[in-house]
Structure 1
């Protein structure tokens, strides 16, 4: 905007001059220094960045981290979210991510269009496949959070007030996009403009990893639809099949790892500027119950010291009963993880999906669960390390450590002594709880924990115990850009209280 501020300032003067022709005005507003039509691979880089920073790791993840009690809200909007006072049902709360997801979705579809037959980069099938994966990802995020949403009539300038598509139809489109992507990613980029290369900020053009990403998402979304499954055994077998075709290690996972001293992890960015989150008593209690080695690693006192024994600490924030106050309660270490990557899909999530599917089929999921737990602990340590090495935090003296990183041997012992007995008693319960604990972090995975909690509830499974006795938000309210301008969205929004009473379709609701 700064670049064109002189044009905006000069415009009233130009309009008042009778000697200034329309042709001259047209020339004033031309940007002669930049191409007017960006190539698909350049747009792809923007879609990946927006998807990771704003959509997967941004406001949605921050707010729902309080709903699933990974964090506790203690100030301003997050305190209102914690106490269920206005924010969870207000159209302004999630307006920014509502718009951002639509921008990412529109640009992903633009990548697809440019690389399709008749498009300016037709023949770039691999880049098209990347766009299809990202379109599926953002479309799923949109409908998972908001339910029925404008889609088939949206993303164009022709229809200013598009109607809402049913979530069931949207999910069919999600799978169609992923299936098409898998085919296209096995092709090549034949157009003279060339492959995405380093503009692919996830995998640097590695098509095998993109295909693994697509299959992992198919596993995620097949599990998401479990409540609506007409053949649970067949669908669980599909989850296992897709997981087997997905990531084989954490080095393959879909990680956006471009954060540094200026480009900030979104959770760190929020907390550093607003200090609205505190350490959740609920998740601390869960770690204490399991004698989990992460317990002595993941909490920080208000004077920036790692807490060795959170079980004896009195400054964890009580979920649903916090006092609105800043710089008082403990926080999670993840609030300081300035450079921790955002994970669009992690290796440990794929393993947890496989373990759950195996358990539902009566198969022995223990070895897969053990690998999932260990991978989750490794990711926790990655974020804790990022917190202790955060450039901005070090500039103020840094955090004080009192414990050492969890070793593979300690992770093995934890699984064998704590996790395995609980798994033997109730496999699905322990898989769910270990997945929930693995999602606690700076990687943007609270959103998937929120999806899981709603999915379990829909199945009548209360695996995750939440301490907040307030109303649980079953979905997010539509953004006010559309509740005020689109009568179709406005009618669906009503007074916003539906977020507490109406499940999304895949959780057994009607919209």
Structure 2
């Protein structure tokens, strides 16, 4: 499916001085080259692409993929050592608010004007996903007032708990908006307008959030599951229903492919290479590329957080890049997979919140992750029979956490959230890390927030804790 080229509407709205009055701000942000009345399909396409680009792009490649030790740096290793300025982790924030949420708010307005509830439902699902990415990364964020940015140009920060609860309400509302017999939607580069799949995607996100809060608010988790069941809701139920954006060629190529067109400073992490080798995991040649030079091992990962000189000494041609599957221009950017849903259902069962069999769902989750990458059935059977892979009912967080970490390869932001929540796998800090033997557990806020939304920024920091990489977020219990 070809992308439509769109202007990103109102993209300067949060990057402009908030000291002006609202009328002046609105005038400043009018682009004479943009349409006054944008079409909903163009807004939908643009919001999907901009948010997915941010999810798989810079703040994935130079932060979360490093934090969870899927990738490592072999040159310019500061990010791998947890050295960041207050502008290094702003891409997700800037893109999420100025391109994603702003356009999706406008799409909801247009949907209401056109009485097309399916546009409204899809927009709410995507907006919820965007807010979820933001709160998982930063913690307390502008949410309730960010939905009404024209009224609140310096929005307050909501607590992470309130954001999660609000998103669950938004997704429940989206589920009601999405009508199988309703009006058609266009510009949908995820599901091609298939409303039944959007409904499953919405429920899968509700399930994801229900588990985010499970250690803090178990009763709310139970209530969410009961609501979904009462609605007769279904989840993503096959690899054909994965929520993902399949990219095409330049300039609409996968952000990882785009990065490797001009840079050569990332490698696959030694941590995940060693894990995959220890399990004889058939995903190793998919996740990693062979070394360019002949080496004793075909796949060689780089330890995370080396000094630049030590990393350079390993040799660009003697270490493994990520696999060609991920470097291809048309590589899919997975948003939410069938395997993840199965792991989530397995955990729900392990917590005693459903009557399903956690071991069976866990095994099925691994199988579907392998099938997602085209692994043969024989290899799947061999792998799932390994004692080291089998489900451990005495420590479901370890079994699910380690296999989910593998299955989420490439989805650094989601893997980062799940690693913090489940506390598995047990990762060692960067070799030459700068956090006193600790690993990052959040993103720091963009520096602009201190100048453009200073009063609300200070209130958020006073409530949540210091604006540091080591300040734990509300959902991160242990």
Residue matched to 1:202 = 190
Matched, 1:139 2:135: no
Bigger helix fraction: 1
Matched, 1:266 2:264: no
Matched, 1:171 2:170: no
2:279 to 290, 293, 299: 290
Residue matched to 1:385 = none
Q: In 1, Cα distance between the equivalents of 2:116 and 2:477?
A: 40
Residue matched to 1:38 = 38
Residue matched to 1:455 = 421
Residue matched to 1:473 = 440
2:334 is paired with a residue whose SS is strand
Deviation string, structure 1 residues 427-476 (Cα, Å, up to 9, x no partner): 432222111111114xxx221110011112xxxxx431213254211111
Query: Could you list the runs of 5+ residues in structure 1 that have no partner in the other structure?
Result: 5-28, 382-405, 457-461
Deviation string, structure 1 residues 482-510 (Cα, Å, up to 9, x no partner): 2232213552569x96333322222249x
Q: In 2, Cα distance between the equivalents of 1:167 and 1:304?
A: 48
Residue matched to 1:459 = none
Q: In 1, Cα distance between the equivalents of 2:228 and 2:69?
A: 29
- RMSD across aligned C-alpha pairs, in angstroms? 3.0
Offset at 1:367?
2.1
Residue matched to 1:384 = none
2:349 is paired with a residue whose SS is helix
Offset at 1:147?
1.0
Over 3 Å counting, the alpha-carbon distance change for 1:243 and 1:490 in structure 2 is same
Deviation string, structure 1 residues 230-266 (Cα, Å, up to 9, x no partner): 4388369559959971111010111111323542211
Matched, 1:317 2:302: yes
Matched, 1:234 2:222: yes
**Does the CA-based 8 Å contact 2:135-2:163 persist in structure 1?**
yes
Deviation string, structure 1 residues 100-151 (Cα, Å, up to 9, x no partner): 00020121111112222xx3x2x10111111111111111111111111123
Residue matched to 1:47 = 47
Deviation string, structure 1 residues 409-428 (Cα, Å, up to 9, x no partner): 11111101245545366443
**Structure 1 stretch displaced more, 406-415 or 332-341:** 332-341
**Does the CA-based 8 Å contact 1:351-1:372 persist in structure 2?**
yes
Matched, 1:100 2:95: yes
**Structure 1 stretch displaced more, 353-362 or 406-415:** 353-362
Q: In 2, Cα distance between the equivalents of 1:308 and 1:236?
A: 52
**Does the CA-based 8 Å contact 1:237-1:357 persist in structure 2?**
no
How many residues align structurally? 428
Residue matched to 1:153 = 145
Q: In 1, Cα distance between the equivalents of 2:471 and 2:32?
A: 49
2:383 to 406, 410, 414: 414
2:106 to 97, 105, 110: 110
**Structure 1 stretch displaced more, 174-183 or 107-116:** 107-116
**Does the CA-based 8 Å contact 2:362-2:391 persist in structure 1?**
no
Residue matched to 1:21 = none
Q: TM-score, normalization: structure 1?
A: 0.76
Residue matched to 1:20 = none
Residue matched to 1:464 = 425
Over 3 Å counting, the alpha-carbon distance change for 1:169 and 1:409 in structure 2 is same
Matched, 1:91 2:76: no
Q: In 1, Cα distance between the equivalents of 2:452 and 2:258?
A: 31
2:280 is paired with a residue whose SS is coil
Query: Could you list the runs of 5+ residues in structure 2 that have no partner in the other structure?
Result: 1-6, 8-30
2:215 is paired with a residue whose SS is helix
Residue matched to 2:199 = 211
1:127 to 115, 119, 122: 119
> Residues 433-452 of structure 1: matches in 2 within 5 Å?
433-441=402-410, 445-452=411-418
Residue matched to 2:211 = 223
Over 3 Å counting, the alpha-carbon distance change for 1:258 and 1:295 in structure 2 is closer
When Rg is computed on C-alpha atoms for both structures, the one with the higher figure is 1
Over 3 Å counting, the alpha-carbon distance change for 1:158 and 1:180 in structure 2 is closer
1:506 is paired with a residue whose SS is coil
1:81 to 67, 79, 83: 79
2:166 is paired with a residue whose SS is helix
**Does the CA-based 8 Å contact 1:223-1:239 persist in structure 2?**
no
Over 3 Å counting, the alpha-carbon distance change for 1:369 and 1:97 in structure 2 is same
Residue matched to 2:332 = 341
